[in-house]
Amino acid sequence: MKLGLCIEMALTKLPFEERIAKAAELGLGNVEFWFVDMTFQGKAERLAELARKHKVTITNTVIGSPDGSIGGGLTDPAHREEWFKRAKMTIDFTREAQIPATIVCTGNEVPGMSDDAMYASVVEGLKPTVELAEEAGVTLMLEPLNIHCDHPGYWLTSSDRGAEICRRLDSPRMRLLFDCYHMQIMEGNLLQHIERNLDVIGHFHMAGVPGRHELFEGEVNYPYLVKKVTDMGYHGVFGLEYAPSKDDEVSIKETMKHLGF
């Protein structure tokens, strides 16, 4: 099992660069963060150097915010120019930092637009974005989210629909990010959804449900789920994207122990 940590939600009392060092010290070989021009303020080469120094892989960045307020989103074609500008900037940085992937959020529903029109807008916006990713050697990871607790109004709420879009675009550089926290809230039946969509899943996120805190507090049996998904043939990273409810280091160590890591 490969385990990673989102350093935007844990170890946040430390400066960004120290979070990478601390994750490595705790035995985590993978970390991830969000926007390339916010929490981290520096050049891509510096980030690649930090990863090499601490012997960790930075698994992914994020292009734009879920609601489209950063990057314009994909649901509204009126913001296409804004989307491409940010997508190219993020993909270029991600490539230069030697990071293999970046997350795609669709943006929120657009008032007055039909669902079919928003679907078409997302697909049409992704086609040239995938071309950029293919040229850069960076993988896009499309993420469905929940609208009940964290992202009201978000358009893509189904892992099945996300997988359908990935298959329609038919590129090894277009994958699905399956966030177990979000999909437990929206769909349940996690293993069934994972099994039928594993062919396009490129990454997992995990957090306790409800609350988005520790994995060992909540309704999802993560040790069981991780074992079953691994048995299905998944060999990628399971990312811990959760907010510790206690001391971060204690929480992370307890979480790793809970998962048998």
Amino acid at 167: R
CA distances for 171 relative to 5, 98, 133, 210, angstroms: 27, 20, 10, 34
Does residue 241 have an active-site annotation?
yes
Q: Which among 82, 241, 249, 254 is annotated as catalytic?
A: 241
Tokens representing 116 are 């079919």
Q: What share of the chain is helix, strand, coil (3-state, %, to 5)?
A: 45, 15, 40
**Tally of helices (H runs) and strands (E runs) in the chain:** 9, 9
Of 216, 226, 160, 156, nearest to 188 by C-alpha is: 160
CA separation for the pair 148, 146 (Å, rounded): 6
Q: Indicate if 143 belongs to the active site.
A: yes
Beta bridge partners of 175: 141
- Pairing status of strand 139-142 against strand 57-58: unpaired
Report residue 194 as tokens: 């994972």
CA nearest to 182, candidates 147, 153, 136, 221: 147
Using DSSP, state whether 57 is helix, strand or coil: strand
C-alpha distances in Å from residue 14, one per residue of 20, 22, 68: 10, 9, 28
Indicate which residue of 81, 143, 187, 195 is catalytic: 143
As given in the structure block, the two tokens for residue 139 are 């993988």
Residues taking part in catalysis: 143, 241
